[in-house]
Amino acid sequence: MSQRKIIHIDCDCFYAAVEMRDDPSLRDVPLAVGGDGGRGVVTTCNYKARAFGVRSAMPGSEARRLCPGLVTVPPDMARYRAVSQQVMAILREMTDLVEPLSLDEAFLDVTDVSDCRGSATLMARKLRARILEEVGITVSAGVAPNKFLAKIASDWQKPDGLFVVRPEDVDAFVMELPVEKLFGVGEVTAKKLYGLGIKTCGDIRALAPEVMIDRFGKQGYRLYEMAHGRDERSVVVSRVAKSVSVERTFSQDLPDRAACETVMASLVDDLTHRLTRKGRKKPIHKLFVKVRYSDFSTHTLERVREHIELPALDDYLPLFRELVAEGDRPVRLLGMGVRFRNDDAPVTQLRLFD
């Protein structure tokens, strides 16, 4: 069996990062999202606020006591969800094997991905750079042979960090790990472990597995396995890909429709590469194009095209020309993609009466 390559991507202080991106005046102040008013609780805070001891889930009153200059903004979940979707879409361009854990973190299994010469480290670097450039926030990444180690690694050099645990480094890496770093070890379990004189994974490894199972039941065996750097959990994909798309944001706006059309050929090439790389045999149902103008207004157009195996530039040009009727509006972003037919959905029309 080939050695698994898992990447864990974790957005740095996600809600606060989105707020600082959208309002540059918030970048140089200690910032908390949530925690306003008498009973509010801090949802996320930036690293300037963390330096004062402010933490998520802390009552706003305590946060302001620790950090008198704290600036608070109310959470805007709809905006964070939209940014999260952007991040996840970039991850899914690398592989379909993406398991989101929340709005701001996900596991990727890149074992069989050939991009970046098959190097998971280079893939993580590429994903971090793309998210910074296209979404405008930083993410930290951990690369390791399993989920447990990848998640710990992504936290190792936060913020804006990349840490790699190579298979040959696993033993040395876990020996010194504090037990609190283990998945599922909260205050209560940590206290119990400390009571047994167990502070690191090395201490757990010195024991027979029966001792751990006797004291902690099923969890004891899991802790014993993790202390040896083992975690067989697979990356679980909960959604079937319904579409594939590519898009490009331009550092300088494209001046007009003609300029857009010259760029479209390379976008179609990217799309073809993605469709063939993933070895999909799903039938295409629709083609779509997307345009964002310099004023940030975004428009999409899709049309049913059932009998196309791999779309070419000539398949997209008519849609693009229909969407961009005015030829001289500057374009900031250009995208295109396909939607697949859902063969699992019932295709027969249901009768109203039996």
Neighbouring-strand partners of residue 243: 339
H or E stretch covering 31: strand 31-34
Let me know: does 318 contact 284? Beta carbons within 8 Å: no
Q: From the centroid of its chain, how far is CA 157?
A: 17
Annotated active-site residue in 105, 187, 261, 302: 105
Token code pair at residue 333: 């972003």
Neighbours of 30 (CB within 10 A): 23
Q: From the centroid of its chain, how far is CA 120?
A: 15
Q: Of the candidates 9, 235, 241, 240, which has an alpha carbon nearest to the alpha carbon of residue 104?
A: 9
Please indicate whether residue 306 is annotated as part of the active site.
Answer: no
CA distance 213 to 202: 17
Q: Of the candidates 82, 80, 116, 84, which has an alpha carbon nearest to the alpha carbon of residue 9?
A: 84
Catalytic residue numbers read: 105
